[in-house]
Structures are given as C-alpha cells and as structure tokens.
Amino acid sequence: MSNQERALFRFNAVPVVARPSFWLMPFLLWGLLVWLAGKSRPGRSLPQRLLLGALATPIPLSADIGHALAHTVSARLANAPMDRIRLAADMPRTLYDNNDVPPRTHQIRALGGPIFSALGLLFSLRWRQQTPAGSIRRELATLSCLSHGFIFSGSLAPLPIVDGGTLLKWQLVKQGHTPAGADQTLRRLNLALGGGLLALLALLVALRQRRAPH
C-alpha cells in the first residue's frame, strides 16, 4: 500500500484501500443526482433535490464497490485470494500480487463481479415492479437498475481492464494462444469495435440531420 492510500476496512479478509481522488466521487455523484432530480421534475424545491440526491448517491456507489467486493468471493473459490481492492476516482481495482495462476483460475476470479451485478440487476427490476409509478421509490429503483445494468454490461466488454477482457484473454490462452498473442488479439478486437461504434455514431448523426426540418 502506497503512502497515498488509506485503509478503510477489510472484506472477506481483503483490505480495501482508497486513494485521495476517491473522495471526490460521492460529491460528484451527489451533484449529478441533485441536477437530475431537478431535471426530471422541475417543480421540486432545492431542499427536495438535495435530499433526493443524498438518498440516491449510495445506490451507484454500492453497485460499483459491491462489484469489486464480489471478486473476493470468486477469488477464494479459485484458491487464489485477492490481495487488496483499490478505490480511486475512476473505478475500483482488484489487485493480485500473484498472477502466475492457470487460465481457469483467472477466469473464475473474474466471475464474481459480473454475477453480483447480474443479481443486483434482477433484484432491482423486482424492486422497481413493486413500486408505484411516479414515486420516489420508483426513481431509486430505476437508478439501481441503471447502475447494476451499466456495470454488468460494461464488465463483460472485451477490454483488458474489465472482466470480459480477462475471460476472453484466458479462453484464448486455453485454446493455444500465448498470453502476449491473446493480448494482441484483444487489442485488435478493441480497435475494430471502437471503429464500428464510431461509424455507427456517425451514421446516427447523419440520419438525424437528414430528418431534421430545414
């Protein structure tokens, strides 16, 4: 642990540490959610927006941090425990001092987060179904659905820094690729996907401009 990291607690015997930049996140999230509370219902007073933002802020935070904490469970099941979780301004990082483990172990360790997010999404959908339309509980449940759903789908992207990239990389290694060759395949795939998304975005913009009245 570096001098800039502060130990917060231990979960499943794994230290959870935070960098100074992490403490900006709750305030930035709160500000964003206060703005959205007013945007969705302009008639709300400022105290109402501030209170709703305070009630909503723990939801995306817990979805994000819970995703990382769930990896401690899958890491123990893989018999390759995690060494620490680092919280920062971008996203929680699961850190392992020993990465010299078999491909299957890498994959099992990567499954905990997506499973947690999938279960969180299912729970949130059920919660949303049981809330009356137009209520604050419905808004909080919708935010929970969006938080877990976004993290779940993002974690399965074939990017090296998320679980989908880990699962795909070590599947390629199991099929005979070297780790370096699998990394190169992932980079090519990311470039192709990035190019495809940019092309799709350009197409959507062009179609919207074409349909706009002149």
Predicted TM-score (pTM) above 0.85: yes
Q: What pLDDT shows up at residue 208?
A: 77
192 vs 75, which has greater pLDDT?
75
Q: What pLDDT shows up at residue 213?
A: 64
Q: What pLDDT shows up at residue 1?
A: 58
Lookup result for tokens 């789908």: 153
Percent of the chain with pLDDT over 70: 97
- pLDDT single digits (tens) 87-142: 998 889 999 998 889 999 999 999 999 999 999 999 999 999 999 998 999 999 99
Give 4's pLDDT tier (boundaries 50, 70, 90): confident
Sheet holding 84-87, edge to edge: 6-11, 14-18, 84-87, 93-95
Q: Which of 173, 63, 181, 185 is nearest to 116 (CA)?
A: 63
Q: What pLDDT shows up at residue 145?
A: 97
Within the chain, residue ranges assigned H as helices are: 24-40, 46-56, 58-77, 103-129, 136-155, 163-174, 179-211
Cα(127)–Cα(105) distance, integer angstroms: 34
| Average pLDDT over all residues of the chain | 91
Flag whether pLDDT at 12 surpasses 80. yes
Tell me the domain boundaries of the chain.
6-176, 184-214
Percent of the chain with pLDDT over 90: 73
Q: Residue 50 carries which DSSP code?
A: H
Q: How far is CA 131 from CA 39, 89, 95, 135, 150, in A?
A: 21, 32, 38, 7, 21
- pLDDT single digits (tens) 127-182: 999 999 989 999 999 999 999 999 999 999 888 889 999 999 999 999 999 999 99
Flag whether pLDDT at 200 surpasses 90. no
| Residue count (the chain) | 214
Q: How far is CA 155 from CA 11, 40, 69, in A?
A: 21, 28, 14
Flag whether pLDDT at 214 surpasses 60. no
Q: What pLDDT shows up at residue 181?
A: 92
Please compute the mean of the pLDDT values over residues 12-36 and round it to a whole number.
Answer: 94
Q: What pLDDT shows up at residue 158?
A: 86
Give 212's pLDDT tier (boundaries 50, 70, 90): low
